[in-house]
């Protein structure tokens, strides 16, 4: 193992005291497709669900699309059938689910080291993936590397706002039950995203934030919402309390899902 990779492993292990590599492998092994189950039900009046919003940030008909940390490839159906679509993920369970759903083009690969040629893609995207990379800048550099000049990048990331006043007590009860919010290895806010885009050599960044709403109509929705959070180190009892707190919102409740979409381009060669 090279010195750089060894350093990456240390960074993974030490990040917030959580061995994220192991946690994410176990979590997605047990819960393949869970992100799609939540995001497909999360809606905004103008944008539809978050996948449709992310898709709208990319050109209408790219020939070659790279999707990094693709999970079970929920974006695949939003592109034409004849698109050359490559979905990279480290979870065999996610990729197996994708294939069983007829979403072809799965590759077992790390977002930090995409096994793809330079400048091969018209569009590169990552939906809810970049903040999971040990070093998000390296992952973004990889996405920039595989983009052809003139190609487009689109990222979907968690955000802290927009929120509505009524969201605050709902989130507070969830956070109280879990003794803290859901965790992520990295936080990528708008300012950091702009810096990273510049460092990766991409241009014309556009950053937007939207509040989607996840309806809590039943106990099953409450269970899904809590299960979909990364909660390393929390006990079963704390998770049960969080589910109970959300169950009280049913049948007409909702949870906010604030998300950030980042798009940018690789400058075309004159
Ligand atoms: C929150 S899920 C998002 C999945 C999908 N993109 C979506 O939006 O539904 C994050 C995904 O990132 C994958 N992942 C985490 N770290 C990764 C890495 N270093 N390289 C590739 N995939 C990774 C996980 O296996 C998981 O499938």
Beta strands in the chain (DSSP E): 64-68, 84-89, 106-108, 121-127, 147-158, 202-216, 253-266
CB of 66 within 6 A of ligand 1: the answer is no
pLDDT of 14 reads 41
pLDDT of 269 reads 81
Structure tokens at 11: 């960074």
19 CA → ligand 1 middle, Å: 16
May I ask the CATH class of domain 3-159+186-212+257-266? alpha beta
Task: Return d(Cα 38, Cα 103) in angstroms, integer.
Answer: 19
* Domain map (residue ranges) of the chain: 3-159+186-212+257-266
Return the ∠ at Cα 177 (arms to 176 and 182), rounded to 5°. Answer: 80
pLDDT of 182 reads 87
Atom of ligand 1 nearest to the CA of 21: 16
Residue of the CA atom closest to atom 23 of ligand 1: 69
Task: Return d(Cα 139, Cα 10) in angstroms, integer.
Answer: 17
What are the angstrom distances between the C-alpha of 45 and each of 34, 48, 175, 199, 221?
Answer: 23, 6, 27, 35, 20
Mutate which of 57, 89, 126 for ligand 1 pocket (most atoms within 8 A of beta carbon):
89
pLDDT of 16 reads 60
What are the angstrom distances between the C-alpha of 159 and each of 56, 85, 103, 183, 233?
Answer: 19, 27, 28, 13, 22
CB of 132 within 6 A of ligand 1: the answer is yes
Burial class of residue 237 (count of CB atoms within 10 Å of its CB; 0-12, 13-18, 19+): exposed
pLDDT of 5 reads 43
Q: Is residue 99 within 8 Å of residue 126, measured between CB atoms?
A: no
- In degrees rounded to 5, what are phi and psi of residue 85? -110, 125
Where does 15-135 have alpha helices with state H? 20-30, 34-39, 50-56, 92-100
pLDDT of 17 reads 82
Q: What is the pLDDT along the chain (270 residues), one digit of tens a residue?
A: 344 343 344 344 345 688 999 999 999 999 999 999 999 999 999 999 999 999 999 999 999 999 999 999 999 999 999 999 999 999 999 999 999 999 999 999 999 999 999 999 999 999 999 999 989 999 999 999 999 999 999 999 999 999 999 999 999 999 999 988 888 999 999 999 999 999 999 999 999 999 999 999 999 999 999 999 999 999 999 999 999 999 999 999 999 999 999 999 999 987
Cis peptide leading into residue 83 (ω within 30°): no
Structure tokens at 246: 């959300």
């Amino acid at each position: 193992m090279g010195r750089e990779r060894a350093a990456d492993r240390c960074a993974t292990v030490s990040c917030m005291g959580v061995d994220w590599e192991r946690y994410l492998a176990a979590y997605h092994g047990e819960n393949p497709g869970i992100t799609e189950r939540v995001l497909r039900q999360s809606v905004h009046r103008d944008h539809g669900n978050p996948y449709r919003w992310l898709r709208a940030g990319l050109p209408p008909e790219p020939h070659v699309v790279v999707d990094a940390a693709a999970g079970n490839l929920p974006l695949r159906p939003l592109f034409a059938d004849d698109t050359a679509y490559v979905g990279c993920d480290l979870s065999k369970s996610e990729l197996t689910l994708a294939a069983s759903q007829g979403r072809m083009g799965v590759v077992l690969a790390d977002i930090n080291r995409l096994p793809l040629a330079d400048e091969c893609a018209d569009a590169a995207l990552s939906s809810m993936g970049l903040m999971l990379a040990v070093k998000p800048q390296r992952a973004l550099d990889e996405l920039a590397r595989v983009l052809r000049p003139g190609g487009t990048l689109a990222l979907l990331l968690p955000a802290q706002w927009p929120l509505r006043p009524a969201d605050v007590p709902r989130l507070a009860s969830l956070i109280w039950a879990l003794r803290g919010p859901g965790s992520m290895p990295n936080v990528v806010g708008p300012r950091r995203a702009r810096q990273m885009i510049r460092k990766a050599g991409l241009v014309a960044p556009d950053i937007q934030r939207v509040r989607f709403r996840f309806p809590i109509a039943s106990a099953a929705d409450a269970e899904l919402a809590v299960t979909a959070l990364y909660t390393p180190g929390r006990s079963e009892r704390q998770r049960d309390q969080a589910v109970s707190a959300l169950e009280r919102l049913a049948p007409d409740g909702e949870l906010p899902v604030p998300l950030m979409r980042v798009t940018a381009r690789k400058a075309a060669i004159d």
